[in-house]
Amino acid sequence: MIQSGIRTCGPRGLTLTRLGLGGAALGRGPASPEADEAGARTLEAAYRLGVRHVDTSPAYGESERRLGIALRRNVFPDLTVSTKVGTHPDRRFSYLADDIRWSLENSLATLGRSYVDVALIHDPPSLEPALVSGDGFEVLHRLRDEGLCRNVGLGVHSHEFHRRAIDAGLVDIILPYGDFNIVRRSGARLMQYARDHGVGVLLGSPMMHGLLAADEEPAKVLKRRPNLLNWYTERDIMVAQEWYEWCRNREVSMRHLNMQFVMSSGLADCVLTGALDSTEIDTNVYDSVTPVPQEIWSAAMVRIAELDAATE
């Protein structure tokens, strides 16, 4: 077993491994015995490697159901689970009290759990519906009091939304994504802000929705997946392409370098790494705990400092 370290996350005593399994990729594709078994085995493999947190959502296709298969046939005494409300495909972008309760209870039934460790308001286009009295965060706090979740959080791209939720004392944990890696580091200030206010941090999409994970030029990845521009700019793609060439010239994996950078910062309590199957989680865990050669690491840190200075 590879142990990735343990951190206390947020004000309620939740303890997490530094590396967690992000469940979005596990939900891809239609239901089939083969795909369902591959998803279940990915969680089992992650657990064997020392990963003790898994994050999912009803918005992630078959993710919750496939994780539920593994959760029902194994005893994972120290595994923590987070899921989300507000983006269930049947009640998408509804943050009304009845819909949030329905969504969380449905997730618990699918996962085979009596509670989740974290329930997060997920991707609200506007924060206002989640702030309405009796709905949104207020009903999640009530569900926390009832024991259906142990921590309340917010998972969204907008840093402004996270800061507002932190300032209002609404969240125990935040889940920002896509903004802390060798290409983008705007998430650093947000994560430090959360830590300064006693709020825990789950970091999503450290590989920029897979852009940095493929052994392929980012420019080619974009041609295959143009929806990446929903989250990232053309300049981000250009910087990623430059990093790809920099790493290729030094015979180091960009994925490995990026994971080492994200893990080394210590800003996130738990970094969520996506995986399609047990082979990918094995690679991701290896990358998270295995240093890159010191000479390359030092050169990369100098380059990151130069890039940051140029954007200030």
pLDDT in tens, 172-196: 999 999 999 999 999 999 999 999 9
Long-range contacts of 184-189 (CB under 8 A, 24+ apart): 184/208, 184/232, 184/236, 185/304, 185/308, 186/159, 187/159, 187/267, 188/265, 188/267, 189/159
User: What pLDDT sits at residue 215?
Assistant: 78
User: Is the pLDDT reported for residue 3 higher than 70?
Assistant: no
Average pLDDT of span 124-132: 97
- Residue 267's nearest CA partner among 23, 4, 7 is 7
User: What pLDDT sits at residue 4?
Assistant: 60
User: What pLDDT sits at residue 214?
Assistant: 80
User: Is the pLDDT reported for residue 308 higher than 80?
Assistant: yes
User: What pLDDT sits at residue 242?
Assistant: 97
Confidence of residue 1 (pLDDT cuts 50, 70, 90): low
User: What pLDDT sits at residue 283?
Assistant: 94
Compute the half-sphere exposure of residue 122: CA atoms within 13 Å on the CB side of its CA: 25
pLDDT in tens, 9-39: 999 999 999 999 999 999 998 889 999 999 9
Predicted TM-score of the model (pTM): 0.95
Domain locations in the chain as residue ranges: 6-213+265-291
User: Is the pLDDT reported for residue 312 higher than 80?
Assistant: no
pLDDT averaged over the chain?
Answer: 96
Percent of the chain with pLDDT over 70: 98
pLDDT in tens, 228-285: 999 999 999 999 999 999 999 999 999 999 999 999 999 999 999 999 899 999 999 9
pLDDT in tens, 62-99: 999 999 999 999 999 999 999 999 999 999 999 999 99
Q: Which residue reads 């590989």 in tokens?
A: 207
Q: Which residue reads 């994971």 in tokens?
A: 259
Determine if residue 204 is left, alpha or beta; phi over 0 gives left, psi from -120 to 50 gives alpha, anything else beta: beta
Query: What is the C-alpha separation between 162 and 180, in angstroms, rounded?
Result: 15
Check if the beta carbon of residue 47 is closer than 8 Å to that of residue 20.
Answer: no
Query: What is the C-alpha separation between 68 and 4, in angstroms, rounded?
Result: 24
User: What pLDDT sits at residue 2?
Assistant: 57
In sequence order, the 6+-apart residues with CB closer than 8 A to the CB of 81 are: 53, 54, 55, 56, 67, 71, 111, 113, 116, 117, 118
User: What pLDDT sits at residue 311?
Assistant: 80
Query: What is the C-alpha separation between 276 and 217, in angstroms, rounded?
Result: 20
- The class level of CATH for 6-213+265-291 reads alpha beta
Percent of the chain with pLDDT over 90: 95
User: What pLDDT sits at residue 257?
Assistant: 98
Average pLDDT of span 98-109: 98
Average pLDDT of span 132-158: 98
User: What pLDDT sits at residue 253?
Assistant: 96
